[in-house]
Amino acid sequence: MRSKNFDDAWLYSTPITHRGLYDENYPENTKPAFEQAISLGYGIEMDVQMTLDNVLVVYHDNNLKRVCGVDKDIRDITYEEVKTLRPGGKDYPIMTFREFLDFVDGRVPVLVEVKHQKRKGIEKLVVDELKNYNGKFAVQSFNPQIVYRMTKLAPKFIAGVLVTREKSSLAPWIINKLIHAFAFKLYIKFNFLSLRAQDLPVSYKRTGKYKVIAWTVKTEEDLKNAEKYADNIIFEKDVPSLSKFGEKKF
């Protein structure tokens, strides 16, 4: 295994761009958005979906309408169809996961969010690609089953669980109880938690047992909250500064 991902120091010292450093000219999760992040030395958070014919592609939403203007689920179409799409109407195609890894080539660390799927199998495909990747990375997902399966396949991978109150009606004390639950910690081996900046603080951060990555930091208020309670940030270009997380270079 060639991967250098077992050192997680970068995860708490290198500010991470949300879907690359995208803007009106360079759509999210596309090569130029990633290149902007790389040129400034920031880490990259990105998203992986699986097409109908089991090709891993770099895309966030399930539905293609918001970014590509096509009212279809990316998980229900083939890669041949995906190749015809252009995010934001720009001339930048949706990348495969392999193309993304080849493009980054270890130049900056990568945080891979694995999206919930209709069919099984994405975990093994992701793990197989990352086992041969010569660069620093971590994996995360909102779906605890995906995190469980990936860490069973690759126990040494740095893995995180995404948690948000926005996607759940659970009260904060229930979320805290879940994270602290003995069974939960035995069931899923994770190294860090990714939590919405607006949801901080929660009690488990005060215990010091888990590192916390705050997302998505866009405003001064988000940043101030993250400075107090998080170990690193996933940010977008609108953030006014990076303060303790590093110098803003754009």
* 3 state DSSP class of 79: helix
Residues 89 and 76: their CA atoms lie apart, in Å, by 21
Do strands 110-114 and 137-141 pair parallel, antiparallel, or not at all (unpaired)? parallel
Show the tokens assigned to 213: 């990555």
Lowest mean pLDDT among 92-96, 181-185, 194-198: 181-185
pLDDT of residue 182: 60
- Cβ proximity of 250 and 32 under 8 Å: no
Q: What is the mean pLDDT of residues 111-135?
A: 97
- Cβ proximity of 130 and 5 under 8 Å: yes
Show the tokens assigned to 6: 């077992």
The DSSP symbol for 73 reads B
Structure confidence by residue, pLDDT tens digits, 75-122: 999 999 999 999 999 999 999 999 999 999 999 999 999 999 999 999
Whether 208 shows a pLDDT value over 50: the answer reads yes
C-alpha distances in angstroms, 144 versus 80, 210, 225? Answer: 30, 16, 26
Residues 6 or more apart whose CB falls under 8 angstroms from that of 161 comprise 140, 141, 142, 144, 147, 188, 190, 193, 194
What is the band of 237 on the pLDDT scale with cuts at 50, 70, 90?
very high
Whether 2 shows a pLDDT value over 50: the answer reads no
Structure confidence by residue, pLDDT tens digits, 23-41: 999 999 999 999 999 999 9
Residues 24 and 26: their CA atoms lie apart, in Å, by 6
Say how many Å lie between the first and final Cα of the chain, rounded.
36
Residues 6 or more apart whose CB falls under 8 angstroms from that of 149 comprise 123, 124
How far is residue 201 CA from its own chain's centroid? 21
Domain 9-59+96-245 has CATH 3.20.20.190: yes
pLDDT of residue 68: 98
Residues 141 and 237: their CA atoms lie apart, in Å, by 23
pLDDT of residue 146: 94
Whether 19 shows a pLDDT value over 70: the answer reads yes
What is the band of 219 on the pLDDT scale with cuts at 50, 70, 90?
very high
Averaged confidence pLDDT in the chain: 91
